[in-house]
A = this chain, B = another copy of it.
Amino acid sequence: MAHDRSIPQHRRLYDILRRHISEGVYSDGDLLPSENELCRLHGLTRPTVRQALSNLANDGFIRKHQGKGSIVSLMPKEIGILSVAGTTSAVGGKNLRTDILEKPRIIPWPADFMFPLTELEKESGCVYMERLRLLGNIPVFYDITYIANINLPRICARKFDNRSLFAVLRDHYGMEIKGGEQRIKAIEASGKTARYLRLKAGEPLLHLERKMLTNYTDHFLYSSIFCNTEKYSIFGRF
């Protein structure tokens, strides 16, 4: 037990394989080393390895086939906002640029917020920010983010430009997204939304309302996302 015991071994293997996949050590369609081989390579037992692989399969990075092996299943080049890890990592970050429209600032929660709030959240106020995400100079996402202002010192001073919001939350506050729920609607573009996404008023547009759970109980992350799906579709696995 020479390793840091705070991070489970199956999680560590998950992270390694996930990084290898995203860095191209394994390509789409490749066979991962077999479970027994991974055991030998990392000095783990099969159940531990299997848990890592099972999580990778659940998150859509591999597909397992009995008798054959685990096959790397890379996300297509389309936009994977429906995936767990958030936009930036799903697209691979290659052509995605993020513009900050409104830097994070503390405001009271909007009346008639899209999700019900706990008392603690209401008292704490909320961190508000607006971002525009462009894929090859085409604006595709207009994100409005709300986070309850609980244990997030100096968040208004952070830089969110070229990093995923999720990465900042993880690195500075140890906050990890564990899942969430979302509602999707097709609506008509109008006003600010149309302007940012370069759509004419009345053109169809996707609207997502998301509530994300974190590793901190009762601390959620909310966002309202408007998507221009004219050129890019939203892609998801299930």
Name A residues whose Cβ lies closer than 8 Å to a Cβ of B. 54, 58, 65, 76, 78, 82-84, 179-188, 202-206, 209, 217, 227, 229, 233-238
Contacts and interface: CB of A to CB of B under 8 A. Distances in A.
A234 B229 CA distance: 16
The 6 closest A-B pairs by CB, nearest first: A204-B204, A183-B233, A186-B204, A186-B186, A185-B229, A184-B234
The A interface is mostly helix, strand or loop, or mixed, namely strand
Nearest to A75: B181
Nearest to A177: B238
A191 to B, nearest CB: 15
B233 A181 contact: no
B233 A82 contact: no
B204 A78 contact: no
Contact of A181 (B183, B205, B236): B236
Nearest to A76: B181
16 contacts: A54-B54, A65-B217, A82-B82, A82-B236, A84-B238, A180-B238, A181-B235, A181-B237, A181-B238, A182-B237, A184-B184, A184-B235, A185-B233, A185-B234, A186-B187, A209-B233
Nearest to A181: B237
A64 to B, nearest CB: 11
Contacts of A227: 186
Contact of A183 (B65, B78, B182, B183): B78
B182 A235 contact: yes
A206 B185 contact: yes
A183 B235 contact: yes
A199 to B, nearest CB: 10
A235 B205 CA distance: 17
